Structure 1
Amino acid sequence: MPDDLEPAEPIVPRDSSTVIVLREAAAALEVFMLERHIKSDFAGGAYVFPGGTVDEADRDPALAEL
């Protein structure tokens, strides 16, 4: 690592979640994936598992009962 780099502020990770969905098919397992929009700022056009940032509303105790 170069000696002339300034220390950076730590990056605080966001709460997020990813789901991997598999199902058995006749010949093999099938995997559910999404293709990110080509114009996305991050990883445009990449195939990804569904997921995303956790919203505060996701923590509602009433939803835990479902």
Structure 2
Amino acid sequence: MADAKKTDPEPDGVEVVENMGEWFVRVVINGKAQVSTFEGEAYARSFADGQRMRIGLNKLCKHI
């Protein structure tokens, strides 16, 4: 039997992504991701900042 490749859980983080006019905030906590959708950038960034503070991160990751 072949050894199963063990993967490390994704690190905690918050990222903001824009796609086709919608803004997505992806929050990862303990390897589990949750995505929230926003129509406006300001709302998405505000939500992301709050989540970042909640989970104790110093930086916001931005991907476009």
TM, length-normalised to structure 2: 0.26
Query: Which is richer in strand?
Result: 2
Pick the structure with greater CA Rg: 1
* Structure (1/2) with the larger helix percentage: 2
TM-score (norm 1): 0.25
Tell which has more relative contact order, 1 or 2 (C-alpha 8 A, sep 6+): 2
